[in-house]
Amino acid sequence: MKSCCCSIFLGLAVWVHGAEEYPTSVPAIPVQHPAVAAPGFVPLFNGHDLTGWQTKGNWVYDAEGSITLQPRPGETGWKRFDAYLFTTRTYRNYVLDLEFKIEPTGNSGVFFCVRDPLNPVEQGIELQILDSYGLAKPGNHDCGGIIRAMAPAKNMAKPAGEWNRYTLTLKDRHLSVDFNGQRTIVLNLEDSPMKTRPADGHIGFQDEAKRVWYRQVRILELK
């Protein structure tokens, strides 16, 4: 069991997990996610196949048109990077809007600014997806956290099996994440442990051999 305590650092609550310290984002505020008909958004899945994506894994469309991960017998863990699902092209400044749900104990992640899809943990940034429903004080590795960088201001994760929504906005190295109607991450990447990560890169989803579903995945590129 890792020790855990709280202190104040530069006006932000800092949670200590072992020897690692990561701030909690500024207090959450209510927000509106982009409307269905918001102009400029382009779907990242075509509803038929994985054109525009790369993977050697087991991502398929289900009967409702969601893209889903169906683990194969014997698959475990998160280090099977070629089984992740990544865009073939790279992106820099954008708004990424999507919905996801997981099975109980589910674990996945939204990767972005990934330079090398075969090494996303060290050459990219991850917005965590995890079965963290009901957790009083989520950390950077809980649902809504930016792993190794920032904990969400508030736990907005719904119970396993229910749809959640992320709207991730990346503009000139400034990152915000809206999570089920609350802005839970506000982070200047240049002032964070992610400052050495690429400013642009592939977008992708983690295969951790647990069932996860994504739908309504769309992007608005910012000039």
Is the pLDDT reported for residue 8 higher than 80?
no
- Mean of all residue pLDDT scores within the chain: 92
| Residue 189 three-state SS | helix
> CA of 183: how far to CAs of 38, 52, 107, 114, in Å?
19, 29, 22, 23
Q: What is the pTM of this model?
A: 0.91
> CA of 128: how far to CAs of 6, 47, 73, 88, 111, in Å?
21, 25, 24, 21, 9
The distance from CA 203 to its chain's CA centroid, rounded to whole angstroms, is: 10
Domains and CATH numbers, the chain: 28-221 (2.60.120.560)
Name the H helices within the chain. none
Please tell me the number of Cα atoms within 13 Å of 45 on its side-chain side: 24
- Strands 164-171 and 94-102 come out as antiparallel
Q: What is the pLDDT of residue 127?
A: 98
Q: What tens digit of pLDDT does each residue of 177-192 get?
A: 999 999 999 999 999 9
Q: What tens digit of pLDDT does each residue of 26-69 get?
A: 999 999 999 999 999 999 999 999 999 999 989 999 999 999 99
Q: What is the pLDDT of residue 208?
A: 95
Q: What tens digit of pLDDT does each residue of 76-114 get?
A: 999 999 999 999 999 999 999 999 999 999 999 999 999
